[in-house]
A and B are shown apart, each in its own frame.
Chain A
Amino acid sequence: MRAPDRTTPFLSETRTGGSLVRRLDARAKILGMIGFTMVVVTTPARAVWAFVLYAAVLAFLIGLARLPLRYVLKRALVVVPFVLVVAIFLPFFHKSGAGGYSLGGARVTGEGLLVLWNAGAKAVLGVLSMIVLGSTTTFAEMVSGFERLRAPNVFILIVSFMYRYSFVFVEEALRMQRAMASRNYRARWLWNVPTLGHMLSALFLRSYGRGERVYVAMLSRGYEGTVRLGNGTAFGLAETVFLGTILGLVIAIRVSASLWGAG
């Protein structure tokens, strides 16, 4: 009896079956994947082999979580604009330096390429680790995981409200758009701007009113400043092994990268 999610494809949750990673307590995954990303970011760029090993750890996790490769790669595309921006500004890094190549008047140095590699590799690994976290953990689990990791209540509330009401908001925007289209409104560039402005202000006012009504409904149920989202799964042996293995592996790689220098 699930209402089709056709209006809000942009935030649909992916749950991948009953894989082991999927069932783990959210805290283990949050700490594991954020820890992973932090260690990766601190790794010196010249230790190329360390990045290869990190990628291997991630590949193992993706396999363990049974995430479809196509899906992972598609989602990983979000890093492209970011890396492109770095690439565009490459010629302006480190004016002097050996290596590299010339593109017409602009000269890309070896230093510059290293910066691109550094940003690119770290961005890709970071995004992939967040994909592993995001596709094996539902939003509710994630929020309750952060809550039990003692994240500030206000932060938790803002995030969960944003998520919850983004659906309502998008639906309202769509309804407004349909109502305009039904009256033969066609978007033309110059007309579009004032109408868009009105639409946005209407949406803002609606959200503002909605916010007040939600708050009243919360007060009516005895809200006094904190929301306890209740319990989740326990942090057991599987979680300890998962977290220990990931952090152990990446820290070992990171330490080796420092001890033996760039490969």
Chain B
Amino acid sequence: MPGSYPTLQPVPHSPPPPAVEARDLHFAYPDGTAVLRGVDFTIQQGESVAIIGPNGAGKSTLLLHLNGILRGTGDLRILGLPVETKNLREIRSRVGVVFQDPEDQLFLTSVAQDVAFGPANMGLEKDEVETRVKDALAAVGMGGFEDRAAHHLSFGQKKRVATATVLAMHPEVLVLDEPSSNLDPKARHQLVDIVRGLPVTKIVVTHDLPVAYELCERALILAQGRIVADGPIEAILLDTGLLAANDLELPHGFALPYSLERGAGSCSGMMTQRMT
């Protein structure tokens, strides 16, 4: 109606964008090896999802897509942002990746400097950086180690500090690459406890199924560059045929400790989506 004054449109109550939304994601290395061959999945904010799969399935490649280090073809949105050059800065400050080998993540001369690296790159004020360093180290139980050199820490301690370097950036999505590798049981428990307590979206890339079970509610199986199964983690882990078909297995004698508690009813009602 020309001449009429604009009416206020009611703001539609839009749900928060998914943490990760991948549609037909393909990636091949320059030598032509296709690693991702049409990956489709959606992870909502607040979920904790394990991406499991055998060696060579493309897990690490997929992980490097989650903050735009690698960029394949297809549609990938992180927290609603398309992965494009102009969004990389924001995506990388909202998605924190803890890599498998803490030696790769701790490269400065003291623990405090390493933890301050991310927040400083975000352009935060000095005081804010210091507060975050302190809080992040406290969160992983490494308070008081600020001035230590990384090479004086044990492997488990390095792993916790590497986690702190990411937590200090206050990520909304936390991506963990093989969080349990090379950790002894105590260090693994510590790390699981720390990660479980964090109120963020969690994506755990691993082939350690017990740890995936401890950290996540949902699991995706990545095999030969595709998501071949997606469902509640109990349903996936109880499906021995599915696991075996994808070169995965639970450790011998491992029982899902909470499967009854979480309800046999809900367990039987769970649907695992199988895709091929």
Contact = CB atoms under 8 A, between A and B. Distances in A.
Interface of A: 1-3, 5, 8, 13, 138-140, 143, 160-161, 163-165, 167-168, 210, 213-214, 216-224, 227-231
Given A1-B157, A140-B113, 8 more contacts: A8-B151, A163-B109, A216-B104, A220-B92, A221-B165, A222-B93, A222-B118, A229-B109
A210 to B, nearest CB: 7
Contacts of B24: none
B149 A210 contact: no
Nearest to B95: A220
B135 interface: no
A57 to B, nearest CB: 30
Contacts of B69: 216, 219-220
| Majority secondary structure of chain B interface residues (helix, strand, loop or mixed) | helix
Contact of A223 (B101, B121, B150): B121
B112 interface: yes
B153 interface: yes
Given A213-B104, A230-B113, A168 B151 contact: yes
Nearest to A142: B109
A221 B149 contact: no
A164 B151 CA distance: 7
A210 B110 contact: no
A230 B67 contact: no
A223 B116 CA distance: 12
Interface in B81-117: 89, 92-93, 96-97, 99, 101, 103-110, 112-113, 116-117
Interface in B115-132: 116-118, 120-122, 126, 129-130
A130 to B, nearest CB: 19
A3 B150 CA distance: 10
Interface in B151-191: 151-154, 157, 165-166, 169
Given A3-B152, A210-B103, A230-B129, A220 B109 contact: no
A3 B108 contact: no
Contacts of B117: 218, 221, 223, 227
B108 A229 contact: yes
Question: Which 10 pairs, one residue from A and one from B, show the smallest C-beta to C-beta distance?
Answer: A222-B121, A221-B118, A140-B109, A167-B151, A213-B104, A140-B110, A220-B97, A217-B105, A228-B120, A217-B104
B147 interface: yes
Nearest to A4: B152
A231 B149 CA distance: 17
A38 B10 CA distance: 74
8 contacts: A139-B109, A140-B113, A164-B149, A168-B151, A217-B107, A219-B92, A222-B89, A229-B108
Contact of B147 (A140, A164, A227): A140
B107 A164 contact: yes
Contacts of B169: 221-222
Contacts of A143: 109
A221 B18 CA distance: 21
Given A5-B152, A140-B149, A221 B109 contact: no
A230 B109 contact: no
Given A222-B89, A222-B118, A222-B121, A210 B151 contact: no
Contact of A217 (B89, B99, B122, B150): B99
